[in-house]
Amino acid sequence: MTRIAYVLTKPISARLLLKGQLRFQRERGFDVIVISSPGDDLDRVGAEEGVRTLGVPLRRAIRPLADLTALVRLYRVLRELRPEVVHASTPKAGLLGMVAAWLARVPVRIYALRGLRLETARGPKRLLLWCAERVASACADRVVCVSRSLADLCCRLGLAPEEKIFVPAAGSSNGVDADRFLVATDDREKASLRERLGIPGDARVVGFVGRLTKDKGIEELIEACGPILRSCSDVWLLLVGDFEAEDPPSRDVMHRMRRHPRIVVSGFVPDAAPYYSVMDVVAFPSHREGFPNVLLEAAAAQRPVVGFRATGTVDAIQDGRTGTLVPLGDSLALARAVTRYLQDPKLRARHGNAGRLWVTQNFRPEDIWSDLTRELVRLSHDRAPARGGVSKRLVDLVGASVGLLVLAPAMLLITIAVWWHLGRPVLFRQRRAGFHARPFELVKFRTMVDDGGTSDEERLTSLGRFLRRTSLDELPELFNVLRGDMSLVGPRPLLMDYLPRYNARQARRHEVKPGLTGWAQVNGRNRLAWEERLEADSWYVDHGNLVLDLKILWRTLFRVVKQDGISGPGHATMPEFRGSPE
């Protein structure tokens, strides 16, 4: 079972950014552990996701002595847990987690980049943040960027090379459950929320959701909405979020926000979903993002969005279709775009509906989780040590060479027979998944016609049946063994399409080279159900050795003579593998 350790500064990040993802991976056979600052929030993460948790004090602010202590603790924890994968995110935990994982020699190290604070920093602070990001990226095997624009920026700043960067699916940290944000039809609930906020029922509302900080563009938003509020007495500004001491707006802006009768600050709310229902348009003038969830939530709630053309935001708004992008820092352009939506209900509805459709088609959480999990499995395979070593490779080389020499006359006769009955090409070539799931070209003797029917059974010729029954169609695979694509013994190579359908245990079949024959082939071959066959492959991965390989080769000779297990019931070979039931 592959063990994954998630390292985050604060457990609230796991609740907001990894909700459902941790359970998804646990249900697919991974041993998931969340390492974060101790407290009730961390306990809730464990209870909600069904995963183990471990408390290690981590601070967001730069505290050299405390940070060094945290690094030592993380190193000791990782040495004790011995995870195959460490996944670290958020600036402080990303740096400390990646360094600790590198020191502890964790095989796979993933740094999740959800934004770059250095983008809006200046002077020595920017240099310090650049160095921290550069070190974290250098210690990582893969840098997961939550948007394409963030990945491009990461490359331009020299933080990581392009080949090291991975963007999951269409982007975002965790996708969005669109149904949670569908605007409710119960007018009484909307009226009740408006009443609690002090907003009249017939008012038009400009909304904002997020931290009330300079980086989030709160100063530009207040400047943009000033003229709108002065000229339209029925327009209100609703700010869903709270201030932060690290990056507060100016005193003048704070004063205007608190004194204006039609600016409402809700403070922090645990769930922003109901608040979108009282908004007519969502303004999001952030200066920098990774991939802003707020914009996906607003679109899921069928609300048009206006944002600055900033990193991350450009990935979350389809300009002119789901919302409007304006130049970064341009308060006047922001005001014009917001006013346009306030004055045109049809445009609001059109862009709101298009936004929801876009989100439901491209940002399902399960799609993000599946793509991340596939990449994680692939990295685990790539970093896994080769099984068998020199002795297995030597047996493969000697066995394949001797086999080709001894069987050369038979292969020549089969070549002539296939050419005579089926024409050219004589060999069947197909991409299959090999060691570490890397594709290679498998070669076999051709046994089917190209246009004899739609099913394999209809296309299979009498010569083809003979070749398959005697396993003579497999002989060209000895060349695959010589090239190093395959071994004499190992799980049979299957289609590339099957890779995302394996669960975590089944995917382990790619920790060894595929073989001409294997444990499944001498224990039922194609008569086995897919789950039994893949379980036999996994068993071989755990127990394979030279003595077992020789035993399998010996038993294979008897299976070939008996012509046992050539095909599954009702199929020329086996039915398509569509994944195991949950």
For the entire predicted model, the pTM comes to 0.69
Residue 576 placed within a domain: no
Q: In this structure, what are the phi and psi dihedrals at residue 27, rounded to the nearest 5 degrees?
A: -70, -15
The per-residue pLDDT for 185 is: 47
Query: 80 and 183 in one domain?
Result: no
The per-residue pLDDT for 315 is: 97
Query: 183 and 125 in one domain?
Result: no
- pLDDT-derived band of residue 379, with 50, 70 and 90 as boundaries? confident
Q: What is the mean pLDDT of residues 372-388?
A: 74
Number of domains in the chain: 3
Residue 192 placed within a domain: yes
Query: 325 and 182 in one domain?
Result: yes
Residue type, 37: S
Query: 262 and 208 in one domain?
Result: yes
- Tell me the average pLDDT of the chain: 90
Query: 235 and 120 in one domain?
Result: no
Q: Measured between alpha carbons, how far is 582 from 580 in angstroms, rounded to an integer?
A: 6
The per-residue pLDDT for 460 is: 81
Query: 514 and 492 in one domain?
Result: yes
Q: Measured between alpha carbons, how far is 497 from 486 in angstroms, rounded to an integer?
A: 19
What are the structure tokens assigned to 19, written together?
A: 């909700």
The per-residue pLDDT for 386 is: 53
Query: What phi-psi label fits residue 517: left (phi over 0), alpha (psi between -120 and 50 degrees) or beta?
Result: beta
- H or E stretch at 466: helix 462-469
Residue 291 placed within a domain: yes
Query: 158 and 60 in one domain?
Result: yes
Residue 9 placed within a domain: yes
Q: Do the bridges between strand 427-433 and strand 439-445 make them parallel or antiparallel, or are there none, so unpaired?
A: antiparallel
Query: 219 and 296 in one domain?
Result: yes
Q: Please name the residue ranges forming H helices in 31-186.
A: 40-49, 64-81, 91-103, 123-139, 148-156
- Count CA within 13 A, CB hemisphere, residue 451: 1
pLDDT at 390 over 80: no
Instruction: Give yes or no for a cis peptide into 249 (omega within 30° of 0).
Output: no
Residue 552 placed within a domain: yes
Q: Measured between alpha carbons, how far is 143 from 133 in angstroms, rounded to an integer?
A: 11
What are the structure tokens assigned to 83, written together?
A: 């995870």
Query: 332 and 398 in one domain?
Result: no
Q: State which residues form the domain around 88.
A: 3-166
- pLDDT-derived band of residue 564, with 50, 70 and 90 as boundaries? low
What CATH number does residue 350 fall under? 3.40.50.2000
Residue 368 placed within a domain: no
Residue 91 placed within a domain: yes
Residue 581 placed within a domain: no
Give percent of the chain above pLDDT 90: 69
SS3 116: coil
Q: Measured between alpha carbons, how far is 514 from 453 in angstroms, rounded to an integer?
A: 30
SS3 506: helix
